Amino acid sequence: MKIIVSIKEVPVRDSQLRIAADARWIEDGDLSYEMNEPDAYALEEALQLKEKHGGEVIALCAGMARASQTIREALAKGADRALHIEDEEIGSWDTLGLARLLAKAAGREKPDLILTGLQSDDLGYGQTGVVLAEILGLPHATIVMAAEVLDGKIRVKRELESGWFQNIEMPLPAVLTIQSGINKLRYATLMGIKKAKIKELKRLTAGELGVAGSTTATIERVYFPHKAKQTQLLEGSAREAAAKLIEKLRFEARVI
């Protein structure tokens, strides 16, 4: 089976974020980037399905030129080839426009299955996969915790709220958005990293794909949130702070 995995690069998790001068996004030039974590789980799921059923895994990414590093990582882990929709202004595309870009590139490949993470760690809209499915006219399931390919269809375990789950079946081709923790991530091997250098990484542009941006919403301003509570910060050395905290919990809050 032919599986496309849509991945995104995001600032590494522990990044110290600073707000850009125009206050419409973060200062992103000097940050390090990595594969969005739920997308990494989607990639792993695709690789495991390929190992079971044979076929091909294609990594698809819309991102700036620097995203090629994240794409190479996907290739090093075992994706067979990659499509990079390269755009230095990718941040100005809204979800709908971005999903149209991805749909155009993915649709050409006529995949049996498209996987992506359930949401991104930066914007967190959590809808690219669903919109992609709708544009391509494919059925979808979200927040997937297990996937099993049956004859011409797929059976998935969806996570519901508060510890509930539900199995759903649907015909292939289909789109799934993958929840973190569905599988155990692999590391790229040295051999994999070596091989990734010679794997096909095809660059595409919005112009070639014939997709124009859409503007259904705009970020006017980003800012650090106001604190809901006044936190008493305890200072000093670790030892001093710890001692003060225990005292506060004992005699002020009286909870221990």
Could you tell me whether strands 33-35 and 9-11 are parallel, antiparallel, or unpaired per DSSP bridges?
Answer: antiparallel
Long-range contacts of 186-190 (CB under 8 A, 24+ apart): 186/44, 186/47, 186/77, 186/78, 187/77, 188/73, 188/76, 188/77, 189/76
Q: Residue 166 interacts with other proteins (CB under 8 A)?
A: yes
Q: In this chain, which stretch among 42-50, 71-79, 177-185, 205-213 interacts with other proteins, using CB under 8 A?
A: 177-185
CB of 191 to other proteins, least distance (A): 25
Measured between alpha carbons, how far is 246 from 256 in angstroms, rounded to an integer?
8
233 touches other proteins by CB under 8 A: yes
Under the binding rule (CB under 8 A), the answer on residue 122 touching other proteins is yes
| Distance of alpha carbon 76 from alpha carbon 196, whole angstroms | 5
Residues within window 180-209 making contact with other proteins, judged by CB under 8 A: 180-181, 184
Contact flag: residue 150 with other proteins (CB under 8 A): no
Q: Is 43 in the site for other proteins (CB under 8 A)?
A: no
Residue 125 makes contact with other proteins by CB under 8 A: yes
Classify 193 as helix, strand or coil. Answer: helix
- With CB under 8 A as the contact rule, the residue among 146, 149, 170, 188 that binds other proteins is 170
Name the segment binding other proteins (CB under 8 A); options: 70-78, 80-88, 116-124, 198-206: 116-124
Is 32 a binding residue for other proteins by CB under 8 A? The answer is no
Q: Are 43 and 76 in contact (CB under 8 A)?
A: no
Told to check if 20 binds other proteins by CB under 8 A, we report no
Sign, CA torsion 89/91/92/95? positive
How would you classify residue 60: left for phi > 0, otherwise alpha for psi between -120 and 50, otherwise beta?
beta
Q: Which is nearer to other proteins, 17 or 65 (CB)?
A: 17
Size of the site for other proteins (CB under 8 A): 77
Give residues 210-229 in contact with other proteins (rule: CB under 8 A): 214-225, 227-229
Looking up tokens 């426009």 gives 97
Among 26, 31, 149, 188, indicate the residue that binds other proteins (CB under 8 A): 26
Binding segment (CB under 8 A) for other proteins, from list 49-57, 72-80, 114-122, 196-204: 114-122
161 binds other proteins (CB under 8 A): yes
Give the DSSP letter string of 65-98. Answer: GGGHHHHHHHHHHT-SEEEEEE-TTGGGS-HHHH
